[in-house]
Structure formats: structure tokens, C-alpha cells
């Protein structure tokens, strides 16, 4: 395939870094329906902090551009779809973003073009749900007039070590020849190369089990934390002791939020049931991890009661609300579950996070952020919850913010010195 011109559809945590990377080798356009997002990117600023302003501005200077105008992507011939794959309120896959993106591709695709999906889906979705939409809208026939592939995203928001150019990417194509073209295109911009899967379905399945495996493993450790907490044993000390064995996999308990681990397994769970398989391990893991926010809140209440702190109308501070440390991403954050349960007992809850976007948090969760650093204020609290291990909290004396020695400090991330806290997962 000659004269490749790339269009990345969806400029979020996955799409923007990928588009920026491809722009170092090919003429590249980023497409997103959010005009506010497009304007910010064209001005050289990424609100997700995945791409530094300097790097983005260099890309723009070298020809990279973003648009919300579908007419401006019709000249492309290598389309990459990197839109979210959420679930609805009943944890059923919500295919709207994928179908919408496929509709967009159908309006612009031409004969000989290739479309590659990166969004996490269940095995078969690309060929069963997405490509028929492109066929219907475009009037072109799949694998005759246009071709497809799947290369699962492996972006880890906030991770500055495993950036997109350093990730080994799985690739696949709808024919052996197209698979080779797609593999070569990705290989041309990656430092650590690719793994070419035998089919699109294999590539789709490989991605979804990456996230499901982590979900199950974390659920096991969370269950251990519940057991050891009930027995009065420090979970982290147990894990450190067990980790001295050469083949022990050391994981830590915590709240499972974000878009990957807390959402993607539902796609495989639903598809498995279509084939008559009830995925008990994955389903149980999802339920257990989804309930950890409520568990943390109840642990805090229990500690307050033990120390004689009245929970009703108490003053509580939550430090950190994003789903992971040193990252502004608030998608599916389980800290909100902690907040919502405690709010049943008191309205006096302050939330402070130097990374989170104030307006986005209020719009998505109706949670109002404390604007000023609480360590610079004179406010005092009955309980403090370290919810996210942001670097800004590493050298803070948390206990100085307590009303008195009876106050409670709970460390969700086992981030603080053990002597400083009253409880931790």
C-alpha cells in the first residue's frame, strides 16, 4: 500500500498518543466529534496529560492536525478507530460509540482503503457488528472493495514508561495480504515491534483477556484483604512475606476503576453467555471488585466507631478521586463509591485532588472539589481517607489535619507509613 494517509477516529487516552506517533512517519489527521477537544489539541494542549504540550506542538508544526469536520478526512486511506467501549447501567456493552465511528468511516471510505479497530471488544464484534455498518453506509463490499484489521490498544493512562511507541502491538488483518500491510504499518513506528495474530478474532480475544486476567487477580487479593482485615492481620505484611518465594505473583489490594479492568470484562462475560457458558470466575471477580468502594467506606465507619468518633455529621477529607495515581482520568473511579456511602452519614465531606478536572468531576459525579490545598488551610477533620497515591501526597503529614488523636486515617493504597494510619486495605 503506497502513499498511506492515516486518520485516527477518537482522540482520547488511546487515540491521541497513537495519532501523534503515526504523524512522525505518515500524514495523519485526528478526528473527534468533540470540537472543544479538537480546538484544544490544535492549540497544542492535551487535557489528558498523555502527550506533553511540547511534543504535541512539535507534531503540529510537522503537519499533524485534528478536526471535527468529516469532509477533511475523506482523503485518508488508513483509518484507525480508537473510541471507548463503555457499558450501560446494567453492565451490558454499549455499542453506540463503535457504531457511530463505523458510520463515520462508512461515509468517507473508498475502494482499497483499510480500517483498523483498536477499541476493546468481544471476539467477533469487529466483523459481526462494525464492518456491516461500513458496508451498509458506503455501499462497498468488505474484503472486496475495502479491508479491515484489529490491533488492540494497550495504553496505560499516566504511564510514562510504557508509552505507545514502546508497546509491543498485536496486529491482524481480514486477509493474509492485508494482515501483512497492517503489520508493516504499525511496525514502522514502534520500537518493540508487533505480534501478528492469525485472525481478527484471535487479536480481539487476546486483548480482552489481558484485562480480565488482571481483574481476576486483583479480586483474589482484595478477597484476601477482607479475610486478613477480619483476622487482624496486616495484608501488606503477608504479601511481602509471600513474595519472597520465587514464583509468587505480588499484587496489592485496591479499588478497580478506569475504563479497562472495570469495564472490558463485561464484553467477554456477555458474549460467553451467548454461547451457553456462564463465566463464573470473571463474574464473581467483577462483583467483588465493584463492591470494594463500599467496603472501604464501611471500614472507615468501623474505625471511627471504635475510636469513639461520631460518624453522623463528622468532617471527612478524601485525598484523591481519580481512578489511579498521577493521572487526571476519573472514568469509573471507585473513590466516588466511598464518597457516596459516607455522604449518607454526613454532608461535611471535602474532596481534594490536584489532578482531577473540577468541572468534569462535577458533571459526571456531582462531586465538588476543594479548590485549595487542605494542608495550607486551617480546617480539621474527624477522618481522612488517602484514596489515590498521587505524588503530591507522598511527603504530607496527614495526621496534622485531624481534629485530635482520636481521628482516623485510612490508606486505601498502602501508600503512607504504617505508623501514620489507623487502617489500610
Helix axis angle for 53-61 and 15-22, nearest 10°, is 40
Residue linked to cell 479499588:
255
In sequence order, what are the residues at sequence separation of 6 or more whose Cβ sits closer than 8 angstroms to the Cβ of residue 58? none
Q: What share of the chain is helix, strand, coil (3-state, %, to 5)?
A: 40, 15, 45
In sequence order, what are the residues at sequence separation of 6 or more whose Cβ sits closer than 8 angstroms to the Cβ of residue 191? 165, 166
Helix (H) or strand (E) holding 222: helix 200-231
Candidate list 130, 260, 327, 396, residue with the active-site label: 260
Spatial separation of the C-alpha atoms in residues 408 and 307, rounded to whole Å: 8
392 neighbors 380 (Cβ within 8 angstroms): no
Strand partners, 2: none
Sign of the C-alpha dihedral computed for residues 332, 93, 261 and 295 taken in this order: positive
Spatial separation of the C-alpha atoms in residues 174 and 172, rounded to whole Å: 7
352: helix, coil or strand?
strand
239 neighbors 202 (Cβ within 8 angstroms): no
What is 321-350 written as a DSSP string? Answer: -SSSTT----TT-THHHHHHHHTTT-S-EE
Cα-based torsion angle of the residue sequence 155, 158, 161, 163 in order, rounded to the nearest 10 degrees: 30
327 is catalytic: no
Spatial separation of the C-alpha atoms in residues 304 and 306, rounded to whole Å: 5
Spatial separation of the C-alpha atoms in residues 419 and 421, rounded to whole Å: 6
Catalytic annotation, residues: 260
Amino acid at each position: 500500500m503506497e502513499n498511506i494517509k492515516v486518520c485516527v477516529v477518537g482522540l482520547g487516552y488511546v487515540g491521541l498518543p497513537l495519532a501523534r506517533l503515526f504523524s512522525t512517519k505518515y500524514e495523519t489527521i485526528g478526528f473527534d466529534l468533540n470540537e472543544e477537544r479538537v480546538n484544544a489539541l490544535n492549540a497544542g494542549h492535551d487535557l489528558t496529560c498523555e502527550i506533553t504540550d511540547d511534543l504535541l506542538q512539535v507534531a503540529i508544526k510537522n503537519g499533524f492536525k485534528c478536526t471535527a469536520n468529516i469532509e477533511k478526512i475523506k482523503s485518508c486511506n488508513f483509518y484507525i478507530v480508537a473510541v471507548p467501549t463503555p457499558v450501560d447501567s446494567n453492565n451490558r456493552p454499549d455499542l453506540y460509540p463503535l457504531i457511530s465511528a463505523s458510520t463515520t468511516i462508512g461515509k468517507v471510505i473508498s475502494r482499497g482503503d483499510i480500517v483498523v479497530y483498536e477499541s476493546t471488544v468481544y471476539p467477533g464484534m469487529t466483523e459481526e457488528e462494525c464492518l456491516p455498518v461500513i458496508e451498509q453506509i458506503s455501499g462497498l463490499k468488505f474484503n472486496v472493495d475495502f479491508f479491515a484489521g484489529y490491533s488492540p490498544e494497550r495504553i496505560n493512562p499516566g504511564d510514562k514508561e510504557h508509552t505507545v511507541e514502546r508497546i509491543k502491538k498485536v496486529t491482524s488483518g481480514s486477509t493474509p495480504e492485508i494482515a501483512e500491510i497492517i503489520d508493516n504499518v504499525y511496525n514502522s513506528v514502534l520500537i518493540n515491534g508487533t505480534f501478528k495474530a492469525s485472525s481478527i478474532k484471535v487479536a480481539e480475544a487476546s486483548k480482552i483477556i489481558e484485562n480480565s486476567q488482571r481483574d481476576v487477580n486483583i479480586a483474589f487479593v482484595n478477597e484476601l484483604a477482607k479475610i486478613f482485615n477480619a483476622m487482624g492481620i496486616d495484608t501488606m505484611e503477608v504479601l511481602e512475606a509471600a513474595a519472597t518465594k520465587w514464583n509468587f505473583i505480588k499484587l496489592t489490594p485496591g479499588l478497580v476503576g478506569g475504563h479497562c479492568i472495570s469495564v472490558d470484562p463485561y464484553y467477554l462475560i456477555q458474549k460467553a453467555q451467548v454461547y451457553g457458558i456462564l463465566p463464573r470466575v470473571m463474574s464473581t471477580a467483577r462483583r467483588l471488585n465493584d463492591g470494594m468502594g463500599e467496603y472501604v467506606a464501611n471500614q472507615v465507619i468501623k474505625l471511627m466507631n471504635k475510636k469513639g468518633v461520631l460518624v453522623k455529621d463528622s468532617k471527612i477529607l478524601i485525598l484523591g478521586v481519580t481512578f489511579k495515581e498521577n493521572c487526571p482520568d476519573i472514568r469509573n473511579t471507585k473513590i466516588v463509591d466511598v464518597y457516596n456511602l459516607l455522604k449518607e452519614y454526613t454532608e461535611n465531606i471535602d474532596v481534594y485532588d490536584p489532578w482531577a478536572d473540577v468541572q468534569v468531576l462535577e458533571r459526571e459525579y456531582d462531586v465538588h472539589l476543594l479548590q485549595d490545598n487542605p494542608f495550607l488551610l486551617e480546617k480539621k477533620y474527624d477522618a481522612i481517607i488517602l484514596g489515590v497515591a498521587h505524588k503530591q501526597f507522598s511527603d504530607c503529614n496527614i495526621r496534622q489535619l485531624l481534629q485530635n488523636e482520636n481521628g482516623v486515617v485510612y490508606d486505601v493504597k498502602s501508600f503512607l507509613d504504617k505508623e501514620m494510619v489507623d487502617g489500610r486495605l
